[in-house]
Structure 1
Amino acid sequence: MIDLLVVGGGPAGLATAIGAARAGLEAVVAEPRPSPVDKACGEGLMPSAVRALEQLGVSVPGRPIHGIRYLDATTGRGAEAEFRTGPGLGVRRTALHAALARRADDLGVRVLPVPVREFRQGAFSVRAAGLTCRHLVAADGLHSPTRRALGLHQPADPAAPPRYGLRRHYAVAPWSELVEVHWSARAEAYVTPLAPDLVGVAVLTSDRAPFEEQLSRFPVLAARLAGAPARTPVRGAGPLHQQVRARVRGRVLLVGDAAGYLDALTGEGLSVALASAEALVRCVAAGRPQEYERAWRRASRSYRWLTGALLWTRQQPLLADRIVPAAACLPGVFRAGVNLLA
């Protein structure tokens, strides 16, 4: 019998399958989309994510990132903090996915081009897509159908405006070895160096508007990109905030974005996904899958606390425009926060 049937072959699903194979478990991935799969994301890996990939034996091409810089969208003034534990990595989502897929293939992980639309749990197994497994792992993304089928999805707070992410690449030489976060009145723009002639620009906002209109709200960044050709079309994702009642229901476990998502403000999504994948495999391999809920909470604690605090501040009219000045006035606090996430 298969130990883990992983529904979804994105980074979280493939990392879970790779970790399972390294632990001596048989994992099969169900992913109907051809590899590599692209997605709207900031494409910056924090140092903790780089270390997690190294531990999985995954080699990823990319451009080193040495820290984070917060900037006022209009004046260009702000604060920066370098990572103390080694560099992060700017890497195209497709390159990351391809590297994970190669590593999974090297370890003999089967990836089946089949969707999982239904599943049936028993006392000792789960049946899905014509396969029987000991545990089903839902790694099927932000709007996980598996999570909804289990009744684990919680409606979002109607008082909080939903936030969305938009991403586009520009053919221009990176002007910094840091990830820049430009703060405007109602949105943030993340600039990630990806290659000698490529940067990624991701905008987080609650406003519905075309990408060019969104970009115009960041005058300093728009001036930097003036004349630079767009290398890719705009991709979008959202709403970002996904509340989840629990990460374990019977013999089904949730990982990655399917396990719940707060916001992309701190850029920790992949770090949390890789850490929770490692925790999931450890709990299953030890025969204690019920302990995964607690392990997930430990793995995501700093992300939930810091992202929640920053998002709350962002949504307060009297505090939102003070985030960048506060980072500049309290550089030690800013460095400590960045390195806690790193």
Structure 2
Amino acid sequence: MTDAELVVVGGGPIGLACAIEARLAGMAVIVVEPRDDPIDKACGEGLMPGALAALHRIGVDPPGHRLAGIAYLDGAQRVEHRFAERPGRGVRRTVLHRELGRRAAELGTPIVRGRVAGLTQRRDGVELTLAGGETIDTPWVIAADGLHSPVRRLLGLDGRAQHPVRRRYGLRRHYAVAPWTDLVEVHWSALVEAYVTPVDDRTVGVAVLGPRPLDQEAAIATIPELADRLAGAQPVTDARGAGPLLQRSRSRASGRVLLAGDASGYVDALTGEGMRVGFAQARAAVAAVRAGNTEQYEHAWRTTTRDFRMLTTGLVVAARSPFRPRIVATATARPQLFGAIVERLSR
């Protein structure tokens, strides 16, 4: 098979965004993805204003619940910031995937069901070998195949693994209860954070982040205010997990293969703007492919993720330190600083 100017490995939201960007630029593109639709993932499901604007630019407008801002809570302490210019949106991951898939299909994007098992690079292209033995030849590849990217591993671009003691994980579950706020609430307890995101008029998603062993219901029980809100609410999905959250890549490109989204490296979910960053990477990766310049992408990747990496890394360090009990208190004492950080990350 050799009909595509670009092959995108991974048919999740960032992979589909890459394919849509490529089709809008007039490129012939194929997506390779082993899983059936819709693809779900453990995540907070809050699209920040910048992420929603990026989706609108490529013709995608997923239904969901209006998000007016972010609140941090720790017991009786609370600080919130409402987005200054436009709202975000809480969107079920399966709904987001469906809408991106619909747009990609509308633009004529074929999806090959398969898993990449091998990769060979030449000066002028890449040969991908699928698990069933089929091969695909293409001038360029963008790998958006997730946190534990097989393509990143095949390229030898995995970074240093985090020490097991410091690893953090995530669990997400949905509950049948009407949202009580139009904010994403981040509840802090001694060991975990719980992200509460309204995703429609009858459902909230709760994502819990912390070290192993991680039990969602036990974690919620350590946050009395949240436990009271969810008392009697029926879970409508099973708990879905992800992690370890920190993943490093030694480089974002090797030869004619570029890494995008979580495959390119991930710090933590603490600040909640992974989708915004991922959509920006999709746009930059396609632009670099069209220019035939992987150094352009490396520079764009660093620029796009700088705030995310610096602020999230700092917050993760604080969350693991004796300062953790003071995080919400400090934000409450300095609401303008908290608001400025939220605004910077949300755009």
Q: Normalised by the size of structure 2, how large is the TM-score? A: 0.96
| Count of residue pairs the alignment pairs up | 339
The 3-state SS of whatever aligns with 1:146 is helix
CA contact 1:168–1:200 (8 Å) conserved in 2 = yes
Partner secondary structure for residue 203 of structure 1? strand
Please show how residues 168-247 of structure 1 align to structure 2 within 5 Å: 168-247=173-252
CA-to-aligned-CA distance 1:274-326 (integer Å, 9 cap, x gap): 00001111111122233111111111111111111111111112x11110001
Matched, 1:151 2:153: no
CA contact (8 A) 1:5 1:135 kept: yes
Cα deviation per residue 1:59-87 (whole Å; 9 max; x = unaligned)? 21111100000000xx2421000111200
Q: Counterpart of 1:223 in 2: which secondary structure?
A: helix
Deviations 1:67-115 (A, max 9, x none): 000000xx24210001112001100000000000000000001111121
Deviations 1:218-248 (A, max 9, x none): 1110111000011110000000000110000
Query: Which residue in 2 is equivalent to 1:90?
Result: 90
Contact 2:171/2:241 (CA < 8 Å) preserved in 1? Answer: yes
Q: Which moved further from structure 2: 211-220 or 252-261?
A: 211-220
Q: Residue 58 of structure 2 is aligned with which of 33, 43, 56?
A: 56
Amino acid at match of 1:229: Q
For 1:329, the equivalent position in structure 2 comes to 333
Identify the match of residue 37 of structure 1 among 36, 39, 47: 39
Q: Is the 8 A contact 1:67 1:80 kept in 2?
A: yes
What is the aligned-residue identity percentage?
51
Alpha-carbon distance in structure 2 between the residues aligned to 1:43 and 1:168: 11
Counterpart of 1:320 (choices 321, 324, 332) is 324
In the alignment, does 2:118 pair up with 1:118? yes
**1:139·1:255 contact (CA, 8 Å) conserved in 2?**
yes
Residues 41-75 of structure 1, C-alpha deviations (whole Å, 9 max, x = no match): 00000000000000011121111100000000xx2
Stretches (4+) displaced over 3 A: none
Q: Distance in 1 between matches of 2:18 and 2:188?
A: 35
Whether the aligned pair in 2 keeps the contact of 1:76 and 1:220 (CA below 8 Å) is no
Q: Is 2:264 the counterpart of 1:262? A: no
Aligned-pair CA distance for 1:157 = 3.4
Please say if 1:338 is aligned against 2:338.
no
CA RMSD, Structure 1 to Structure 2 (Å): 1.1
* Whole-Å separation in 1 of the counterparts to 2:248 and 2:188: 26
Q: Secondary structure at the match of 2:72?
A: strand
Partner of 2:310: 305
CA shift at 1:160, angstroms? 5.6
Gapped runs of 5+ residues in structure 1? none
What is the aligned partner in structure 2 of residue 8 from structure 1? 10
Contact 2:168 2:245 in 1 (8 A): yes
In the alignment, the residues of structure 1 paired with residue 220 and residue 69 of structure 2 have an alpha-carbon distance, to the nearest angstrom, of 23
Q: Is 1:291 matched with 2:296?
A: yes
Residue 163 of structure 1: aligned partner: 168
- Decide whether aligned partners of structure 1 residues 233 and 157 sit closer, same or farther in structure 2, where only a CA change above 3 A counts: closer
Letter in structure 2 aligned against 1:179: V
Deviations 1:3-46 (A, max 9, x none): 21111100110000000010111110001211110110000000
Deviation at 1:159, TM superposition (A): 7.3
The SS at the match of 1:153 is: coil
Cα separation, partners in 2 of 1:121 and 1:159, compared to 1, 3 Å: same
Q: In 2, Cα distance between the equivalents of 1:76 and 1:35?
A: 42
Match of 1:27 in 2: 29
Local SS of the residue matching 1:174:
coil
Contact 2:162-2:246 at 8 Å conserved across structures: no
Q: Give yes or no for contact 1:43–1:192 (8 Å, CA) kept in 2.
A: yes
CA distance in 1, matches of 2:179, 2:162: 38
Whole-Å separation in 1 of the counterparts to 2:184 and 2:61: 21
**In 2, Cα distance between the equivalents of 1:300 and 1:213?**
33
Amino acid at match of 2:67: I
More moved, 98-107 vs 276-285? 276-285
Match of 2:62, SS?
Answer: coil
In structure 1, the residue corresponding to 2:116 is in which secondary structure? coil
Q: Any stretches of 5+ residues in structure 2 without a counterpart? A: none
Q: Residue 243 of structure 1: SS of its match in structure 2? A: coil
SS of alignment partner, residue 235 of structure 2: coil
TM-score (norm 1): 0.97
Deviation per CA, 1:158-203, whole angstroms, max 9, x where unpaired? 2761000000000000000000000001110000011111000000
